[in-house]
Structure 1
Amino acid sequence: MTPLKSYIVSKGYLILALVAVMSVMVIGFAVIKSDRERYTASVRHNVEMALDRATDQIRYQFFESVLISNKIESLLENSREIPEAQIARVVDELIQHNPSVVTVALAPNLEVTHSFPQNANQGTVGLKYFEVPAQMSSVARAYRWRSPVVVGPVQLVQGGEGFILRYPVQIRRDDADTPRFWGIISIVVKSDQLFGAYGSDNMDYEFGLRELHSSSRPYRSMFGDPDLFEGDPVIREITMLGSTWQATAKPKEGWPAYSPQSPVIMLLTLISAVLLLAILMVLRRLSTRIEKANALLAETIECIDEGFIAFDEKDRLVTVNERYLSYYPKIADAAVPGVTFEELIRIDAARNNYPEAIGREEEWIQDRLAAHYNPGAPFFQKSDQDRWFKVVEAKSPRGYTVGIRTDVTAVKRAQELAERADREKTEFLNNVSHELRTPLTVISGRVAFLQNPNLLAQAKTLQAALSADELSREDVISAVAEYQDQVSKQGASALSAAQHMLRLVEDLLDWTKVESGRLELDLAPVEVGTIASSIVSDLRPAAEAKGLRLSYFSDCDATIMADQTRLKQILYNLTSNAIKFTQTGGISLVVTHDDDEIVFTVKDTGCGIRQEDFSRIFKRFQQVDGSMTRQMNGLGLGLAIADQLAKLHGGALSLTSTVGEGSAFRLVLPKPAVSAHWPSYPRLKAV
């Protein structure tokens, strides 16, 4: 992975981690908010229920007070005097059911004459409402409306605050057509007990009460803190005996900011965020390890000196290295992950990547697929680029197929060279055997006659001449001469064969020195004309024996630094080869020069040499005809030795030829700048 890609991936993981953690936190806060709303709704519902019960309690208290007042009114209507005992019992029952009731006062003609319970409320007896304006307004309203009214909170004579139910008493007498206003029954309820048990200190709620006015006048607070009506309170309206009240309630601790589960949820959210972050870190670490492992594997695959390719269990390409693609450039564009092996080899075959598949593509594809699906021993494969590859394929336990391609072109070339060298060695040994056997046969045959001269016809003629009864001197001399001539011919033939063998051995020894680098040159000033003319003189008889012309031409009389023997050997080989391979025409040895070089050209009118044979004509053991049935003798070392000797002299040997017209070998040697009078130099040796 490149540094830029690694940086981008790292930042991507960081952003992913932040997004994941923030998402968890947002979800956590959403859950907390939802739980708080649910809890707040539950608390509000409880407050609503408590307020409903409390308002019901208020209605019940005043409704019961109205019923008691009505009952007292009935008692008063049925008695000329105030039935104190009966009223006291009724009031006691009321107080037992409604402990918030403090006083029940009777005020005939608006003057309090009786107050129940009598022992606790004697201080109110004698109170005249018309003398107390604060209380007279409510009494007057009850009188005008002819129905009960509730006022409050007011300061009570008994102390504290309370609400007062004013009940106008109308008594119908027997002799009257219409009821007559008797007075007022006042029932006092203490403010702090207005909400009953729901307003006690041990409850979880605070209650408030205010009176609504039909006019534009502001609300009048009747109970509790007026601020309870601010915000989003729970409010209930109560129509109470001609007045409209609003009751409210809220928890004493205020509306909850969060639910009791919020800390737990927050803790779980934090734990979840930490766990998620830890999981992401672990995943990142695992991902990094996997990336490093994959990078190591990819780099290792790229570093190996073989082509590597891998397919998954469905035979789809997974990975391939650059070395493999360099081996098979024709499918480099198609070797992408996901392509199947069959698709690849079909592309291979279609693009003629394998010479062996040309003309039999489908058969070759099926054979290759069979070898791929059931890998066996390694095999060799030749590409269209004249390269050889060793193919090794194997199946993994999970069904993956791994292929290795090793370039064995050099090994194949070496094998071919070794096989060719072996063939050359065999041919050379055969040629040496043939070349040595021929002169040895000649020598053996000639020496056999010399060992047993009696086998010669001339020896028998001489023996007959010497054994004749009449010995003739002329016959003896003639027989002796014939015998001597025959012996001389036999010896000459044996000598020629021995010299031929000697040249073969010398060629072998010279080549051995060339191969081992031990051939030494004795450099000295040499006149090129003398060397060239001597070669022509020595070989002219051989040329003339074949009816060939051997001519010499030189345009200079130069002197060069050379090994005279080796230079002569080069020219001798070139000229003798020309004579050997020329049947008609002639051979010429031409010496030319320029400022820096001396050029020896041996030209013949022989059979010529094909252009494709030029590269091997100067190699060892090579002749254009390398078979045992060659027309010309020789080991094929002459030109190879001549080429190496030319290079040791700092020169070069080249060839031009036309088949059927002849050949021209050109030896170029450097000519050092020297004076006309060559000084005396010591013997030089070059290796």
Structure 2
Amino acid sequence: MKQSGTEARNGGWSLVWLSNANLPLLMFLASLVVGLVAVQFSQLQHKQNLQHQRLQTTQAMHAVREDIETDVNRMVRTLAEMTAALRESPDMTQAEFTAHATRLRQGDPRIVNFAAAPDLKVSMIHPIEGNEAVLGLDYREKPSQLPGVLETIALNDINILGPIDLVQGNVASILRQPVMLYGPDGSGELWGIVSLVLDHTIAFQLADYGELLAEYDVAVIGAASQEGERRLLFGNAAPEELRDPVLLTFDFPNGTWDLLATPHGGWTPNAVFTPDNMLIIAISAGILGALWYILYLDRQRQVAQRRMVSAIEALDGGFAMYDADDRLIACNSGFLDMYDRCRDIIRPGVRFEDIVRYGISRQQYPDAIGREQAFLRERMELHRTGNCDLEQKLSNGRCYHVSERSSDDGLLVGLRVDITELKAAQEAAEAADQAKTNFMNVLSHELRTPLTVILGHSRLGASFSKMPKAQKVLAAIQRTEVDGLAEEVASLYDDLGERMRKIDQSGTYLLSLINDMLDFSKLSSGSLSIDPDEFDAANLVELVTAQLAPMAEQKGLALTASTEPARVLADSRRCQQILINLIGNALKFSTCGTVSVTAEMRGRMLDIAVSDEGPGIPDDELSRIFEPFHQVDSTATRRAGGTGLGLAIARQLAEMQGGALSATSVYGQGSRFVLSLPLAAEKPATLRLVS
């Protein structure tokens, strides 16, 4: 598949080995590997479980074996004591034998009987009851028992034989020992045989293995008979039913028993739905799910990368991205077209500084010609901030806006937008604005000069009757003695003065409008200057209120000021202009009540408040009263007139002095405007306000 230009320049972002064609094969191989690992792990886990299970079974059976060995060995010692008694008293009577047997048996139900057979013929037994048939038994005449007796005599030691079936249906073993009589010379002579019958069934019942047999299947088998058969002595399972049992051997005198055991029901099989296998299946499924999810995310990442490449290529501008080491990661074709003289060096891994240096050497940047090192230093300083905006002219004659931003992970993204036409339009607009400013300045000058002359002559005309020439004319008329002529001339002078005063009022209003237009033009062009200095705000308030007192008297309003000396750092002339505007507005829009001026210190600022009891300002208009040319649409506003520039100029003048101008109002009750000015460095210790 053919890569796009951006992908090729950036080393090919897509992973070929994870293409759509290879993904199913990869997932099959991954599933196979995970499955094999899961099976192997399952078998290993099952083997460990079996080992643990065998260990537990072996430990439990060791306790059983120790109990059985202890009981059998006690029977061996009991038989040895009886043998010793017969060796000491070979002529022992039945009564004496019974006494010894009773003492040794101690009522133990596991001992079925004791029997003594001098010369291999049973002549003494205990208990006699139930064993009468045994008395008189001659072993020589019993082919089934004679081999065992002869084996015991040959061993000259205790021999354990069995198992045998008792009449009661129980299983038992016979412990036999030859009784040898030794002469002074150490030679021995066989006296006979003494035997003890041990009931294994009762012994197993007395051991109370109920809880153990609930957990394990146990079989204890005796030594092999002459026919090679090994029979079950006791237990809860047949030996042939036990699969791969734990094997423990009993080591008795001249006899060997085996203990076979498995957990009840057999060893735990490695079934599919065991807890361990379910855990393995769950883990395997989780791994496969994670692999699928990782591949899905990678697929989404590839799609997102392709979309990002398409989006970057679709940008109508230049795009470049740099890593934390300031090396190029990616760029689009628009970037290459802009920096055409640097195209040979622009590739992933190249440092931004190297690209700039190469461009300087190829005269890519017209502004760098003749000041190469300074240009490089300034450009790198801006670039290293990670947050810069600048305008850059290139050798193709175009002008670009360069915007660079850094991300949290150290990447830096740069965007270049062609602003050549916008720049030309901006320069044309600035030229037009400058032409407008120049026109306004010329116009204002041309208007103010004749208007000043008109105002001067109108003010003189207002006092026309007091001029010397007018006085001479009036005196001459009075001398003519024409009735009523002097009064008519005096009335004419008064009418002429009143007209001149109206001309003066209109001219003054027109001059204020021209001044507002001129100030606004200067503010818009940034040519209005502020001359801050320390002055007493109380004196300024007193001066302005005195200046506007006639206006208040003319409208029948009370104008009050409550301040104390407080020095501020501001332009007194501009502050006077602001206060005249605020107090003048309050007087113009109020028809009754009081206009008050107060001052209050707030931290390092002095707040001068102008309050009135006029019509107030609606809430929806309050936020717009400081906008240029905006006027509240009301009858009172239209009656008062104005351009709507006064408050806009006042706020800008306040902010240029480090202060502020704000307003609050309650419609129908009045308004309050607050002018905030910075206090001078040395201020009085306290400022007490007097209402």
TM-score (norm 2): 0.49
* Larger Rg belongs to: 1
**TM-score (ref. length: structure 1):** 0.50
